[in-house]
Structure 1
Amino acid sequence: MEERGHPGLHSGESLLFLTDEQLRKGIEAMFFAYRGFTADPDRILSGMEYGRAHHRAIHFINRSPGTTVNNLLNTLGVTKQSLNRVLRTLIADGLVESRVGEKDKRERHLYLTPEGEGLEQRLSDAQRARMRAAYRAAGPEAVAGFRTVLEAMMDPDMRRQYLSLREENS
Structure 2
Amino acid sequence: MRDAIPALKSHHPGKDILAETPAYDLIELFFFAYRDFVSDPDRILDEYGFGRAHHRVLHFVSRNPGLTIAELLDILRITKQSLNRVLKELIEKDFIESRMGTSDRRQRLLFATPQGRELALKLAKLQTRRIMRALSGMEPEAKDAVSRYLLSLIDPNDSAHVKHLVFGSEET
Category of TM-score, reference length = shorter chain: 0.7 to 0.9
Q: Which residue of 1 aligns with 2:158?
A: 158
User: Is 2:69–2:109's contact at 8 Å kept on the other side of the alignment?
Assistant: yes
Provide Cα deviations, 1:41-64, integer angstroms capped at 9, x if missing partner: 000001111000000001101111
Given the two structures, how large is their TM-score scaled by the length of structure 1? 0.87
Shift of 1:5: 6.4
User: Is 2:2–2:137's contact at 8 Å kept on the other side of the alignment?
Assistant: no
Q: Which residue of 1 aligns with 2:106?
A: 106
In structure 2, C-alpha distance between the alignment counterparts of 1:14 and 1:69, rounded to whole Å: 40
| Structure 2 unmatched ranges of 5 or more | none
Provide Cα deviations, 1:144-166, integer angstroms capped at 9, x if missing partner: 22222211110123312211113
Which amino acid is 2:149 matched to?
V
- Look up the SS of the partner of 2:105 in the other structure: coil
Q: Which residue of 2 aligns with 1:36?
A: 36
Given the two structures, how large is their TM-score scaled by the length of structure 2? 0.86
Q: Which moved more, 1:158-167 or 1:100-109?
A: 158-167
User: Is 1:5–1:138's contact at 8 Å kept on the other side of the alignment?
Assistant: no
Q: Which residue of 2 aligns with 1:90?
A: 90
RMSD: 2.4
Change (3 A) 1:106 1:139: same
- Look up the SS of the partner of 2:162 in the other structure: helix
Aligned pairs for 1:45-124 (under 5 A) are 45-124=45-124
Q: Which residue of 1 aligns with 2:148?
A: 148
Q: Which moved more, 1:148-157 or 1:102-111?
A: 148-157
Provide Cα deviations, 1:96-128, integer angstroms capped at 9, x if missing partner: 010000100111000000000111111111001
Q: Which residue of 2 aligns with 1:8?
A: 6
In structure 1, C-alpha distance between the alignment counterparts of 2:4 and 2:152, rounded to whole Å: 19
Change (3 A) 1:49 1:62: same
Q: Do structure 1's residue 128 and structure 2's residue 128 form an aligned pair?
A: yes
- Look up the SS of the partner of 1:20 in the other structure: coil
Q: Which residue of 2 aligns with 1:24?
A: 24
Which amino acid is 1:30 matched to?
F
Which amino acid is 1:157 matched to?
N
- How many residue pairs match? The answer is 165
Q: Which moved more, 1:27-36 or 1:158-167?
A: 158-167
Shift of 1:86: 0.5
Shift of 1:4: 7.0
